[in-house]
């Protein structure tokens, strides 16, 4: 039943394919699945995401990843967590018509026809899931202040899978990617070389056995020297401190 829902099948079609007498029987079984998963409600996008994460359904093979806008990404994450479009609108103080437009835009970008199929497509396009790209995307959207424009980010194709690299600048003077293999770290550096926001570059080796190589770019901040002012100290008083506080 969950597999059919992830394909974008409607309730009537699912019931017919499973030989159920009516849609009510099909929806009852959906609620039984939610109970079996220990979820508080039969919210289908959440059921699909839970089934993928816990192996109740085989996760779809990842394909070319997709970088969603912040509002679209937040909507996908909220649906996967069992929230509704109404709750999404309230969370971001949007009109319901605005939230519905974002829902339509996101479904179109992911080529999804239902909210259950949207979760499947999000796993395929690595918006959700356990891939390194999905983790990179989550970190990008968690940035405060907000990340730069999406068209400045670069999808890096590697043998081990895609990665997402963000340009340095603004509040993020240095950025990096951690990659397990040295040859792939060098390949990532070559791919990013010469792009705006990705120079200069340097690669540092693992700090311990079995660690990762770090490809970094932007401003190389020097390590503090003995005697330098550190953040946990007290700032030196201004020469006119007494006059300023008089």
Query: Which of 18-27, 156-165, 223-232 has the least mean pLDDT?
Result: 223-232
pLDDT of residue 6: 94
pLDDT for 232 beyond 80: no
Which of 16-25, 108-117, 143-152, 176-185 is least confident?
143-152
**How many residues belong to the chain?**
246
**Nearest-angstrom CA–CA distance, 243 and 233:** 23
**What pLDDT score was predicted for residue 222?**
54
The residue ranges of every structural domain in the chain are 2-44, 149-220
Query: How far is it, in rounded angstroms, from Cα 35 to Cα 15?
Result: 20
- The whole-angstrom distance between residue 181's C-alpha and the CA centroid of its chain comes to 23
Percent of the chain at pLDDT > 90 equals 74
Kindly give, in sequence order, each residue whose CB lies less than 8 Å from that of residue 241, ignoring residues fewer than 6 positions away.
Answer: none
Q: Which tops the pLDDT comparison, 209 or 35?
A: 35
pLDDT digit string, tens, across residues 188-223 = 999 999 898 999 999 999 988 889 999 999 987 654
Q: What is the pLDDT of the chain when averaged over all its residues?
A: 88
pLDDT in tens, 138-173: 998 887 655 555 568 999 999 999 999 999 887 778
pLDDT of residue 228: 45
What's the pLDDT score for residue 150?
57
**What is the per-residue pLDDT for 172?**
79
Q: Express each pLDDT in 49-81 by its tens digit.
A: 999 999 999 999 999 999 999 999 999 999 999
* CA–CA gap between residue 68 and residue 122 (Å, rounded): 10
For residues 18-34, give the mean pLDDT.
93
Q: Give the per-residue pLDDT at 148.
A: 54
pLDDT of amino acid 219: 85
Q: Give pLDDT, residue 193.
A: 93
Pairing verdict, β 161-165 and 154-158: antiparallel
Residue 165 CA from chain centroid, whole number? 13
Average pLDDT for residues 81-109, to the nearest whole number? 96
């Amino acid at each position: 039943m969950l597999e059919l829902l992830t394909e974008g099948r409607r309730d009537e079609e699912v019931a017919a394919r499973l030989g159920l007498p009516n849609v009510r029987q099909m929806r009852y079984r959906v609620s039984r699945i939610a109970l079996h998963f220990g979820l508080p409600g039969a919210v289908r996008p959440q059921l699909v995401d839970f089934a993928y994460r816990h192996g109740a359904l085989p996760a779809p093979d990842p394909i070319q990843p997709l970088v969603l806008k912040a509002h679209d990404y937040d909507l996908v994450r909220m649906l996967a967590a069992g929230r509704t479009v109404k709750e999404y609108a309230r969370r971001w103080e949007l009109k319901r018509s605005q939230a519905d437009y974002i829902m339509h835009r996101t479904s179109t970008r992911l080529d999804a026809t239902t909210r259950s199929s949207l979760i499947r497509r999000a796993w395929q396009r690595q918006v959700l899931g356990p891939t390194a790209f999905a983790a990179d995307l989550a970190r990008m959207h968690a940035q405060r202040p907000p990340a730069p424009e999406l068209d400045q980010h670069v999808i890096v194709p590697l043998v081990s899978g895609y990665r997402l690299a963000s340009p340095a600048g603004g509040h993020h003077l240095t950025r990096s990617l951690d990659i397990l293999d040295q040859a792939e770290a060098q390949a990532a550096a070559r791919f990013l070389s010469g792009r705006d926001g990705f120079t200069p570059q340097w690669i540092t080796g693992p700090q311990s056995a079995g660690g990762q190589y770090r490809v970094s770019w932007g401003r190389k901040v020097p390590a503090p020297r003995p005697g330098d002012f550190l953040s946990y100290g007290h700032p030196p008083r201004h020469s006119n401190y007494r006059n300023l506080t008089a």
